[in-house]
Amino acid sequence: MESKANMKKITATAISGLALLVSNSCANVGSARVAIQNHAESHQCQDSKYDNSVICLKDDLGEAYKSVYQISTITNSKDASKNEAIDLIEGSGMLLEGGYLLTAYHITNPQMDNNHESRTYLQAGKELYALEQVAGDKDLDFMIMKLTEELPNPHPYKHKTGNASELRIGDAAYIIGNAHGFGINMREGIISQLEYDNFLEEDFAVSCGGNYGDSGGPIFALRDGKIELVGIITMIVPNANKLAYARSINTILAYLEKLMQKENIPIKK
Model pLDDT, residue 97? 93
Model pLDDT, residue 171? 95
Model pLDDT, residue 87? 82
In this predicted model, which residue has the larger pLDDT, 205 or 28?
205
Model pLDDT, residue 33? 38
Model pLDDT, residue 13? 44
- Alpha carbon distances (Å) from 180 to 98, 174, 183, 187: 28, 18, 8, 14
Query: Angle 70-76-81 (CA atoms, 0-180°, nearest 5)?
Result: 160
Residue 174 has pLDDT above 90, yes or no: yes
In 91-197, alpha helices (H): 105-108
Distance, in Å, from the CA atom of 187 to the CA atom of 208, rounded to the nearest integer, reads 6
Mean pLDDT, residues 212-241? 90
Residue 4 has pLDDT above 60, yes or no: no
pTM: 0.79
Q: What percent of the chain has pLDDT over 70?
A: 78
- Listed in sequence order, the residues at least 6 apart from 161 whose beta carbon sits closer than 8 Å to its beta carbon are 228, 229, 249, 253, 267, 268, 269
Residue 8 has pLDDT above 70, yes or no: no
Model pLDDT, residue 173? 95
Mean pLDDT, residues 72-82? 77
Distance, in Å, from the CA atom of 70 to the CA atom of 47, rounded to the nearest integer, reads 35
Beta strands in 150-225 (DSSP E): 160-161, 172-177, 185-193, 204-206, 218-223
What is the per-residue pLDDT across 150-171, written as a single tens digit (0 to 9) for each? Answer: 999 999 999 999 999 999 999 9
- Listed in sequence order, the residues at least 6 apart from 21 whose beta carbon sits closer than 8 Å to its beta carbon are none
Band of pLDDT at residue 79, cut at 50, 70 and 90: low
Distance, in Å, from the CA atom of 64 to the CA atom of 269, rounded to the nearest integer, reads 16
In 102-248, alpha helices (H): 105-108
Report which DSSP code applies to 150.
P
